[in-house]
Structure 1
């Protein structure tokens, strides 16, 4: 049986009150290592019109915040890291499955971006899009299912980012170009932080993909 690390449902911050969420597009927001759900909540005003944002908290306490998986001070084999990321991805996916949403989009920053792409790897057709701010691809082994689905991904990295090593950024970009319908954005003047401009770019892409999905949806009703 696969391990599942659940999230704290009481810690989720929403962009809309409970009575106004059902049946709307859901934008799931995932913070970075050592941070928390308030990071993305600061950008709720950039959530695409008509959609609802939900900012989740990672399950691993780091002492100064939260993480999706705490690898600090550890030398992990790839298989160990994959198990840890997959376990928390199952927890997030389980939470998503319990929501009353017409569609789901993923947006993640740093380690949250890595988790968003890991969720995409597990279910490449389950999400309208995935926007990654200063993140990376955790598992960069080939994946035939993702290649077939060619999911919509926006990957933004600042030219002043001193956290994502060039080698990791390069291998992440190559994997995304090979597996997804990726938009790669190099942002001048941005570092590894979740700036307002950076967050807006990611959420603008999310809104564009939601609009495209609505435009491409078949018309409902029966013609007379």
Structure 2
């Protein structure tokens, strides 16, 4: 499995990306790279944004894993790992620097799986209307030591993500991450304006660029 690098949408040309943190956008099932990219004007200005396309064509768009291969909310761990490893392999081709993640639905599950694969790599993670894949992962023990900052937002009226997957995620996040958990009354499988304001603020706090000669607290 491999990402189509020609499909990636960038917020800045290649010559203007050096020295800036990177924010990777991971869209949901049956969607495309342009979906979350539309949020760019409301996101922090410091990071360069890269919106990637999932590798599997399905349901009129693209998927990180096929729904034909999994039960809702319970994709096999190895299938989610394979998709996340494709993102890791792409990141390995880029210059080293701070990387944050923002995913929706399937892309939100991908963001959490990327943390499990490489617990120390990501500065901040936003997981919207998603869940963590079930089962123990080799990276979980180290993740529980690092406890990176994660924003998990969801709506009370989300009929897409099963309750058991929500319960699993609510149990898994606190011991493995420094979690900011937000629930939005009356919101379905979508992103609301109040949620957008909150996770944008979260990213501004945790995904800022470090100026040359400065410490992260300056």
- State the TM-score, normalized to the length of structure 2: 0.88
Matched, 1:84 2:83: no
- Verify: 1:106 aligned to 2:101, yes or no: yes
Shift of 1:49: 2.2
Query: Which residue of structure 1 aligns with residue 134 of structure 2?
Result: 139
Instruction: Identify the match of residue 209 of structure 1 among 202, 206, 210.
Output: 206
* SS class of match (2:68): coil
How big is the shift at 1:73? Answer: 6.4
Which SS does the other structure have where 1:24 is aligned? coil
Work out the CA distance in 1 between the residues paired with 2:188 and 2:71. 26
1:1-224 superposed matches below 5 A: 5-72=1-68, 74=70, 81-100=76-95, 102-141=97-136, 143-211=140-208, 217=216
Distance in 2, Cα, partners of 1:188 & 1:217: 35
Partners of 1:191 and 1:66 in 2: CA distance? 21
Q: Alpha carbons of 1:218 and 1:158: their partners in 2 closer, same or farther (altered >3 Å)?
A: closer
Moved over 6 A (4+): 212-215
1:222 matched to which residue of 2?
Answer: none
Pick closer, same or farther for the CA change 1:163–1:32 going to 2, 3 Å: same
Q: How many Å separate the matches in 1 of 2:144 and 2:124?
A: 15
Normalised to the residue count of structure 1, the TM-score between the two structures is: 0.86
- Unaligned 5+ segments in structure 1 are 220-224
Provide Cα deviations, 1:137-167, integer angstroms capped at 9, x if missing partner.
0134362111111111110011121111222
Preserved contact between residue 124 and residue 206 of structure 2 (Cα < 8 Å): yes
- SS of corresponding position for 1:61: strand
Native 8 Å contact 1:68 1:88 kept in 2:
yes
Spell out, residue by residue over 1:47-75, the C-alpha distance to the aligned partner (whole angstroms, 9 max, x if none): 31221111000000004100011123655
- Give 1:204 shift: 2.5
Which range moves more in the overlay, 131-140 or 24-33?
Answer: 131-140
More displaced stretch, 183-192 vs 122-131 = 183-192
Number of matched residues? 213
Root mean square deviation, CA, Å: 2.3
- Larger Rg, first or second structure (1 or 2): 1
Q: Provide the C-alpha distance between the structure 1 equivalents of 2:38 and 2:202, rounded to a whole number of angstroms.
A: 18
**Equivalent pair of 1:37/1:57 in contact (CA under 8 Å):** yes
SS at match of 2:207: helix
